Every structure is written in structure tokens, then in C-alpha cells.
């Protein structure tokens, strides 16, 4: 199914074509073991089967489908994801452990580029054409015994080693949009040739270097928490001709706050108040801002522009307070928009990382952790499945209608899990139309 968005662009944002992208990537693995067509099929089957578990958000999906196949000779992994057969968990684990996560990055980039061509991101832009990319790190694995060569390690006080995995998961978001669009992740992992431990900021810096080209001709503003509000990272962003709005806390930015307090007593910090009726009570938003503040002590320190919001309720209690450093020049006219953009960062935690952590990634028991790359590669497929669901919700009318009717995301996946356990569907289309019939939603003619 294709959805023309502009006269000259026709994009295939269907389940079938997106799954086909994954299949193609699996078949194009530059793996020395791919000596014959059977091995090629096996790799592809392993990749699609692993992806299907995340896509269906069902840890028991493969097990159920193997049973269906045994009883009836058919299964939904084959019909919905195009596998030839369903490998055992052991086979999936062994094969996927050899696949580097970056093998799937081109799919993310292709989806971004295709979405961009449709004009999808126009409604995301704020502050006069700025596209917001929020950075955040999320821990998605932690253990005292299970580990692989990609684990980060930390020695505890008692000498025990603690193993973990963290991913930086940038997303495109907007204060005006409920959807967030995940971009290629970057993993915090020991780097070749470096004795030092990797960290979130280093991983984010690598990400910027590797991915910035795809945003040519875009105005970009990067969002991040206080950790990112650090001179070298700010300079790195500016070096790409990008902008930033980072949380800037008093506890970690003493120089900034000494400067502000000094000028505040002289009445030189701009401030104003606005009232907002929430439907229940009136909130007072008190804004302060100051341009040209050194981010740290010492000569030649980067100069940033600082702003703060303090919200109080009718009893005078502070219910929200936050402050930001940015390179955007602040005026009374734009400071509220800058703060609104900076605050939109919460969506990355809520929408994206919560999905990675709680909605489907509790699968390490099924697949194990692997010895080499399995854990990072599965996380990459998991975020990819979230991206594809987000895209389908926008572009696939049947998907959108069913989601709207069912309301909660959980109900949608519960129903899909139950249906695919008992019925083998010819296609994703067939599955959605069966749901529409049950829900008495008229089926679109296109």
C-alpha cells in the first residue's frame, strides 16, 4: 500500500515494505560464513524472528508460532515477517551474536530520509524552522555475573565487577507533537584503542560525528539534560553549526549562577511573569533570562545564554522550576518558546526510553545476553520496532483506525498477541482487517 504525500513523492510506509528492508539488511551481511543460500536464509530468519518478538511485544511469540507450525504446518512468523522457518532460540542467539548493531542503522536513516521527504517533520519544527533532537542515555541491562565483550564494567567497593549496558537514544521530538521519532542509537561500550571507559557524552559525540551529515540543510537544536551542558560538548554542537538548549543546574554550574546572582542584585537580569489558567487554578510562570554568561570559570570560556522558569500555584508553592543554557540569543519574545522546547525533552524518557526498558525489552531470558554483540543488536532491533510502529501509526490508515478504537497501546498489543496465537494471518493487512471487522470499523477502500 502506498501513500502519496506530495505529488512527486510516493513512499512505501507499509508493514510489508519495512519488514522487507530488514530482510534485505540481513541478507546483505558481509559474513564469511554466508557460503551458500541456506546460510543466507538462516541469517535472515534469525534476524526477522528476533525482530518479530519486539514488533509483537510478545516474549512467547516464537514459542507459540513453533507450536502452531507443529500442529498445522503454518505460522505467523512466516506469513507476517517472511521467514522461511523459525529458528530455535539457540540458533537465533548464536547467529545474532555475530551481527553488529550498526548493520541495521541504514534502515533508521532510510526511514528518516523518507519521512523527511514527505514533509512529515514540518509540523515538528519550532523556533523558526528548528528541528529538535533530544539526547538521553538509558541503562537497559545490569548484572553481576552475565557479561559480554560490549559490557561496561564498574568495580564495586567490595571488589565485585558490575556489568551494564547503556545506549544513547536520540529522538526527534516537538512540543507540538505526541509522537517521537527514534534515530540511530549509539552504545556506550569499550572502544577499540582506548583504555578509558566509554561514557554517555563520548557516545553522544561519536553519534554527532557519524550522523550529522544526514541533517544537511536542516536547522538543528539539540536538547539534553544537565550532563550535556558541558563546554566541550556545547562546542562540538556549535562546530556542526547546530544549536543547543541544555538543562543548566546551579549545583553543576556554579560560575553561571554566581554571574547571574551578581547581575541580579544590580537589576540586570531580565524577568517577567505570566499567568496561566489551567482549567482548575491559576499558575504564575516567572521567567528570568540573561544573555552572554560564561559557562565555566577561566579565560576564553564559552559564553551561553541562560533562562529559567519558576511556576507557582495559587498558594504560592513552587510546582516547577528549571533552567537552561542555550546558544540561541534570548529576548522577551522568544524565551518562552526556548523554555518550551527545552522542556519537551521529557518526552524522550517517557515515550522512547520507557518503551525500550519496559515495553518489550524484558527478553534477555529468552535470548540470553550473548558473548559479543547480541545484547546491543537486540536493543537496536527493539528501538527499530518502536520506530516502525510509530511510522505505521501515522501512515497506515488501518493501523491508525484500530489503535484509535482500542485506545490504550496495551490493549492493541494484547489483542494482537491473542489473535496471532490462535489464527494464522496471510498478512499484516489481513490481521488489521480482521480486527476492524470485529470492532465494526468500516474498512477503507484504498
Q: Interface with Zn ion by CB under 5 A: which residues?
A: 148, 151, 375
Q: Whole-number minimum distance, CB 151 to Zn ion, in Å?
A: 3
Q: Whole-number minimum distance, CB 170 to Zn ion, in Å?
A: 22
Q: Whole-number minimum distance, CB 146 to Zn ion, in Å?
A: 7
Choice between 204 and 375, CB closer to Zn ion: 375
Q: Whole-number minimum distance, CB 47 to Zn ion, in Å?
A: 19
Angle, helices 231-239/200-211, rounded to nearest 10 degrees: 0
Q: Whole-number minimum distance, CB 231 to Zn ion, in Å?
A: 32
Choice between 19 and 151, CB closer to Zn ion: 151
DSSP 231-295: HHHHHHHHHTT-EEEEE--GGG-HHHHHHHHHHHHTT-SEEEEEEEE-SSSEEEEEEEEEEEEES
Choice between 148 and 356, CB closer to Zn ion: 148
Q: Whole-number minimum distance, CB 129 to Zn ion, in Å?
A: 41
Choice between 294 and 368, CB closer to Zn ion: 368
**Cα(274)–Cα(295) distance, integer angstroms:** 28
- Would you call 181 exposed, middle or buried from its count of C-beta atoms within 10 A (0-12, 13-18, 19+)? buried
Q: Whole-number minimum distance, CB 148 to Zn ion, in Å?
A: 3
Q: Whole-number minimum distance, CB 182 to Zn ion, in Å?
A: 21
Counting Cα atoms < 13 Å in the Cβ hemisphere of 201 gives: 13
**Cα(103)–Cα(114) distance, integer angstroms:** 19
- Kindly report the backbone phi and psi dihedral angles of residue 168, in degrees, each rounded to the nearest multiple of 5, phi listed first: -90, 125
By the 8 A CB rule, do 86 and 63 touch?
no
Neighbours of 415 (CB within 10 A): 16
Choice between 164 and 255, CB closer to Zn ion: 164
Q: Whole-number minimum distance, CB 149 to Zn ion, in Å?
A: 7
- Of 339, 78, 115, 87, the C-alpha closest to 223 is 339
By the 8 A CB rule, do 404 and 40 touch?
no
Q: Whole-number minimum distance, CB 165 to Zn ion, in Å?
A: 5
Choice between 139 and 281, CB closer to Zn ion: 139
The C-alpha cell at 194 is 582506548
The C-alpha cell at 98 is 555475530
By the 8 A CB rule, do 293 and 304 touch?
yes
Counting Cα atoms < 13 Å in the Cβ hemisphere of 360 gives: 30
Cβ-proximal residues to 315 (8 Å cutoff; 6+ apart), any chain: none
**Cα(303)–Cα(294) distance, integer angstroms:** 4
Choice between 14 and 375, CB closer to Zn ion: 375
Using DSSP, state whether 317 is helix, strand or coil: coil
Choice between 151 and 293, CB closer to Zn ion: 151
Choice between 123 and 153, CB closer to Zn ion: 153
Cβ-proximal residues to 253 (8 Å cutoff; 6+ apart), any chain: 226, 229, 295, 296, 325
Choice between 59 and 370, CB closer to Zn ion: 370
Neighbours of 366 (CB within 10 A): 17
Choice between 44 and 377, CB closer to Zn ion: 377
The C-alpha cell at 104 is 541495521
Amino acid at each position: 500500500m502506498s501513500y502519496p504525500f506530495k505529488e512527486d513523492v510516493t513512499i512505501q510506509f507499509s508493514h510489508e515494505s519495512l519488514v522487507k528492508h530488514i530482510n534485505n539488511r540481513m541478507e546483505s551481511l558481509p559474513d564469511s560464513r554466508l557460503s551458500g543460500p541456506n546460510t543466507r536464509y538462516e541469517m535472515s530468519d534469525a534476524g526477522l524472528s528476533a525482530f518479530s518478538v519486539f514488533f509483537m511485544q510478545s516474549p512467547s511469540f516464537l514459542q507459540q508460532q513453533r507450536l502452531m507450525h507443529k500442529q498445522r504446518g503454518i505460522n505467523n512468523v512466516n506469513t507476517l515477517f517472511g521467514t522461511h522457518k523459525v529458528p530455535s532460540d539457540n540458533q537465533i542467539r548464536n547467529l545474532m551474536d555475530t551481527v553488529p548493531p550498526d548493520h541495521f542503522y541504514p534502515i533508521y536513516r532510510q526511514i528518516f530520509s523518507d519521512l523527511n521527504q514527505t514533509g512529515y517533520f514540518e509540523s515538528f519544527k519550532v523556533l523558526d524552522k528548528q528541528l529538535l533532537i533530544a539526547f538521553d542515555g538509558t541503562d537497559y541491562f545490569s548484572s553481576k555475573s552475565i557479561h559480554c565483550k560490549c559490557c561496561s564494567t564498574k568495580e564495586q567497593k567490595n571488589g565485585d565487577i558490575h556489568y551494564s549496558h547503556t545506549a544513547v537514544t536520540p529522538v526527534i521530538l516537538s512540543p507540538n507533537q505526541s509522537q517521537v521519532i527514534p534515530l540511530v542509537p549509539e552504545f556506550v561500550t569499550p572502544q577499540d584503542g582506548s583504555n578509558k571507559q566509554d561514557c554517555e557524552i563520548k557516545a553522544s559525540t561519536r553519534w554527532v560525528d557519524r550522523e550529522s551529515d544526514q541533517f544537511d540543510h536542516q536547522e538543528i537544536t539539540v536538547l539534553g539534560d544537565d550532563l550535556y551542558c558541558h563546554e566541550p560538548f556545547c562546542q562540538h554542537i556549535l562546530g556542526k553549526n547546530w544549536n543547543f538548549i541544555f538543562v543548566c543546574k546551579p549545583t553543576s554550574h556554579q560560575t553561571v549562577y554566581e554571574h547571574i546572582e551578581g547581575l541580579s542584585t544590580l537589576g540586570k537580569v531580565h524577568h517577567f511573569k505570566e499567568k496561566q489558567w489551567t482549567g482548575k487554578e491559576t499558575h504564575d510562570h516567572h521567567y528570568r533570562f540573561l544573555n552572554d554568561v560564561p559557562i565555566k570559570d577561566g579565560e576564553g570560556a564559552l559564553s551561553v545564554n541562560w533562562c529559567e522558569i519558576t511556576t507557582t500555584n495559587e498558594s504560592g508553592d513552587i510546582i516547577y522550576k528549571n533552567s537552561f543554557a542555550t546558544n540561541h540569543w534570548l529576548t522577551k519574545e522568544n524565551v518562552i518558546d526556548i523554555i518550551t522546547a527545552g522542556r519537551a525533552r521529557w518526552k524522550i524518557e517517557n515515550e522512547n526510553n520507557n518503551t525500550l526498558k519496559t515495553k518489550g525489552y524484558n527478553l534477555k531470558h529468552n535470548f540470553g545476553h550473548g558473548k559479543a554483540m547480541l545484547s546491543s543488536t537486540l536493543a537496536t532491533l527493539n528501538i527499530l520496532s518502536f520506530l516502525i510502529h510509530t511510522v505505521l501509526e501515522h501512515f497506515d490508515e488501518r493501523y491508525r483506525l484500530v489503535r484509535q478504537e482500542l485506545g490504550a497501546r496495551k490493549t492493541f498489543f494484547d489483542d494482537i498477541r491473542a489473535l496471532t496465537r490462535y489464527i494464522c494471518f496471510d498478512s499484516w493487512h489481513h490481521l488489521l482487517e480482521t480486527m476492524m471487522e470485529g470492532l465494526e470499523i468500516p474498512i477503507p477502500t484504498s
